[in-house]
Amino acid sequence: MSELSTIPLSILDLSFVREGETAGEALHESLLMAQQAEALGFKRFWMAEHHNMEGIASAATSVALGFVANGTETIRIGSGGIMLPNHSPLVIAEQFGTLASLYPNRVDLGVGRAPGTDPRTARALRRQLNLDSDSFPDDVQELMGYFEPAEPGQLVRAVPGEGLRVPVWILGSSLYGAQLAAHLGLPYAFASHFAPAELFQALHVYRERFKPSAYLDKPYAMVAANVVVADTDEEAAYLFSSAKIGVLNLLKGRRGKMQPPVRNADADWSAEEHLGVEQFLKCSFVGGPDTVRAGLETFVKETKADELITTARIYDLDARLRSFELLSQLTVAAEPVG
């Protein structure tokens, strides 16, 4: 049986703000994507927390998720992720407890330990600059505790939140998150769409060290990939140039909105620039349906992923929606006939 015919597909949306549009318009585009994803049978629609970035509109992640959840009916919505060091566990428990109360059995809470921004912005978020991640495991367990039924005499409670058992995921791009997810017996999502270097080692550590828990009886790993599907390889490569331009700008410390695609955008790049972008976007599958199907089949087989979450930095909204439509059709086309 084909790998793609059995694996759930999900979407990670950063609510990219295109050149010439507002954050509000980008968030409405996110809703359109979620509605299409629901109609096409995608399992989850996650949004990510980033701050002080002109080209990303999902900084207030729980608010953005509420907007998307209100405009959909069945698809799971969640964070990919909340950067927990930026917040107190109680505040996040209350926010996601509220979402889970309004949209029962549809909410996921993925948490990470990165700041999701630069040090100066992190200081503005937290009012103090303490980037020490040593408290992250304790913060995760405190957060999970708020979703359990309150103990007799418990003085601090998450209302809404307590007793709702909102599913918590550990997100990571290194061995740290893999070890923590395994120790706590939680599902694990690896950010291979931008940090692929330790993907296979992290998955190995997670699976080898996993301890069954009240939340999960066996490992469950989701891997991320950039996926751009178009009618032809050439058209997909053209659409993908927006992502490559965005990554090069990021590596050079330039922030801005998503740029339109450019043919042969990398023609005058240096060898160092090519290498940097290539390493960043290593887990990318770009092309016509047959090309992308072959690449994803190999990727899923090699990673033994339980779920695939995809993102697409495509400037044109119609092309972006078309890409996800074609991606959903790959799973159908991959199923054996008869």
Question: What's the token pair of residue 35?
Answer: 């509605």
Residue 168 inside a domain? The answer is: yes
Residue 2 inside a domain? The answer is: no
Residue 253 inside a domain? The answer is: yes
Q: From CA 158, how far away is CA 235, in angstroms rounded?
A: 49
Residue 245 inside a domain? The answer is: yes
Put simply, whether the predicted model's pTM sits higher than 0.85 gets the answer yes
Count Cα atoms within 13 angstroms, Cβ side, for 168: 34
Contacts of 77 (CB under 8 A, 6+ apart): 34, 44, 45, 46, 47, 65, 68, 69, 99, 103, 106, 107, 108
Classify the phi-psi angles of 241: left when phi > 0, otherwise alpha if psi is within -120 to 50, otherwise beta: alpha
Residue 311 inside a domain? The answer is: yes
Count Cα atoms within 13 angstroms, Cβ side, for 48: 27
Which letter does DSSP use for residue 290 in this model?
H
Q: pLDDT tens across 140-149, in order?
A: 999 999 999 9
The per-residue pLDDT string of the chain (338 residues; one tens digit each, 9 = 90 and over) reads: 467 878 999 999 999 999 999 999 999 999 999 999 999 999 999 999 988 889 999 999 999 999 999 999 999 999 999 999 889 999 999 999 999 999 999 999 999 987 656 667 666 766 555 545 578 999 999 999 999 999 998 999 999 999 999 999 999 999 999 999 999 999 999 999 999 999 999 999 999 999 999 999 999 999 999 999 999 999 999 999 999 999 999 999 888 999 999 998 888 999 999 999 999 999 999 999 999 999 999 999 999 999 999 999 999 999 999 999 999 999 754 443 33
Question: What's residue 132's pLDDT?
Answer: 52
Question: What's residue 194's pLDDT?
Answer: 94
Residue 3 inside a domain? The answer is: no
Identify the domain containing residue 25 by its residue range: 9-333
Residue 106: give its domain's CATH number: 3.20.20.30
Question: What's residue 331's pLDDT?
Answer: 79
Q: From CA 72, how far away is CA 116, in angstroms rounded?
A: 27
Question: What's residue 210's pLDDT?
Answer: 98
| Amino acid, single-letter form, for residue 13 | D
**DSSP result, 51-96:** -S-TTB--SSHHHHHHHHHHT-SSSEEEEEEEEGGGS-HHHHHHHH
Residue 4 inside a domain? The answer is: no
**Number of structural domains in the chain:** 1
Question: What's residue 322's pLDDT?
Answer: 98
Residue 162 inside a domain? The answer is: yes
